[in-house]
């Protein structure tokens, strides 16, 4: 089938030639190739102003990012194409990880923009976050089945970003029989994660290397895991030798999973849970004169859009200050942010400013980012989103 051509305006091919994959609607030569002539998810050949082909992309006329490049030549985007991309992504993860528990496909960074696949052994949790990927769902499922022979594939198509693409939100079984819970191994610790009922794809693999910090920090310590979800930080702290671990989350079902995961690892006697809003919980713990040696604050994104940056940074400041007040002298704080719009330098300054505001001294010991199964696309800074800061907090 002959593909339509999408022409860029003058000099708008520079970013693509540098390796980027996104095309914005204002970069199109609208007189030569009006976006209204294309349908959402359609494959096109992208060309520069001189008519030179830059590769194949899929289009969504109603999105600000109106096209995403899939290849730099004109090969068809079919099952075989997807199998090659998946094979490359799989080879990287199998080199890096002992167990088949990781983010298998990380969108643009694996040259499959808009596609996310998390692997839990024989079970896959998939997000089709763009109209282009949604249009290819059948061949994506076929390619995954051929490459991995999974027992099940769940489509977690309930991310808000789909609304921006004009797509419906849904959680549906695409293949096999999806269990309510799947088992995974991270940093040598076993976990159960809820697939359909959990957050995002069911688990947050991105913090894996930063949770490993607890292997050194936790032994003999009293630990508080704020925004604990199913206990990814807290249960690992207990397994790594913490004397006492508290997990705090607003979700009762998540905390039920914390107890399950603690029992799974034989550390249930060390672990307590507190249900409620994180800010209210930290205030109550302060009023009760509770103190901890290690605190993890890993909230959801407080800055979802660029215009929310000022308000979001204030929220990060507030939650970090409240956590610092609960630390014993020379206690350790792990501060996380998954907000793409929070610059790394701003995160570091936030920790410093939070400490100074309450007359504490923060020593930055380490900086972390997302794990290697979330590789950064060297031309797309947005693919590096996760910040983690390990600091020691002392009273001045």
Active centre residues (catalytic): 338
The residue to which tokens 């947005």 are assigned: 382
Strands (E), 298-386: 327-337, 360-368
User: What is the Cα–Cα distance from 347 to 361, expressed in whole angstroms?
Assistant: 16
Handedness of CA 91, 97, 99, 103 (dihedral sign): negative
> Shortest CA distance to 81 belongs to which of 71, 91, 69, 67?
71
End-to-end Cα distance, the chain: 70
H or E element at residue 388 = strand 387-395
Rounded Cα distance, 60 and 62, in Å: 6
From CA 6, how far away is CA 60, in angstroms rounded?
Answer: 12
Strand partners, 241: none
CA atoms within 13 A on the CB side of 354: 28
Contact assessment for residue 294 and residue 214, using Cβ atoms and an 8 Å cutoff: yes
Q: How far apart are the C-alpha atoms of 156 and 278, rounded to whole Å?
A: 26
């Amino acid at each position: 089938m002959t593909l339509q051509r999408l022409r860029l305006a003058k000099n708008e091919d520079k970013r693509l030639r540098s390796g980027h994959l996104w095309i914005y609607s204002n970069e199109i030569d609208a007189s030569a190739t009006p976006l209204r002539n294309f349908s959402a998810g359609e494959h096109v050949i992208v060309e520069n102003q001189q008519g030179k082909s830059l590769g194949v992309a899929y289009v969504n006329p109603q999105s600000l990012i109106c096209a995403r490049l899939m290849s730099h030549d004109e090969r068809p985007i079919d099952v075989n194409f997807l199998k090659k991309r998946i094979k490359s992504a799989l080879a990287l993860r199998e080199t890096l990880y002992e167990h088949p528990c990781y983010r298998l496909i990380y969108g643009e960074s694996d040259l499959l923009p808009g596609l996310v696949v998390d692997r839990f052994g024989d079970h896959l949790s998939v997000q089709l976050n763009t109209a282009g990927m949604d249009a290819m769902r059948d061949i994506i499922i076929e390619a995954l089945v051929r490459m991995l022979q999974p027992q099940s594939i769940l489509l977690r198509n309930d991310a808000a970003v789909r609304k921006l693409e004009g797509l419906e939100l849904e959680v549906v079984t695409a293949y096999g029989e999806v269990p309510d819970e799947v088992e995974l191994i991270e940093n040598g610790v076993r976990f159960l994660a809820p697939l359909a009922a959990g957050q995002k794809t069911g688990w947050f693999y991105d913090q894996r290397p930063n949770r490993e910090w607890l292997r050194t920090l936790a032994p003999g310590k009293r630990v508080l895991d704020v925004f604990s979800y199913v206990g990814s930080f807290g249960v690992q702290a207990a397994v790594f030798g913490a004397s006492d671990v508290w997990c705090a989350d607003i979700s009762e079902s998540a905390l039920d999973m914390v107890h399950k995961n603690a029992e799974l690892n034989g550390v249930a006697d060390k672990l307590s849970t507190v249900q409620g809003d994180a800010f209210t919980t930290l205030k109550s713990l302060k009023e009760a004169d509770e103190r901890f040696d290690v605190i993890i604050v890993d909230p959801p994104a407080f800055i979802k859009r660029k215009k929310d940056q000022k308000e979001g940074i204030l929220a990060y400041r507030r939650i970090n200050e409240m956590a610092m007040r609960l630390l014993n002298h020379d206690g350790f704080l792990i501060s996380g942010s998954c907000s793409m719009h929070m610059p790394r330098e701003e995160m570091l300054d936030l920790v410093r400013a939070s400490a100074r505001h309450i007359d504490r001294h923060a020593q930055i010991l380490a900086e972390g980012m997302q794990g290697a199964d979330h590789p950064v696309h060297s031309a797309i800074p947005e693919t590096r989103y996760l910040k983690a800061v390990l600091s020691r907090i002392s009273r001045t």
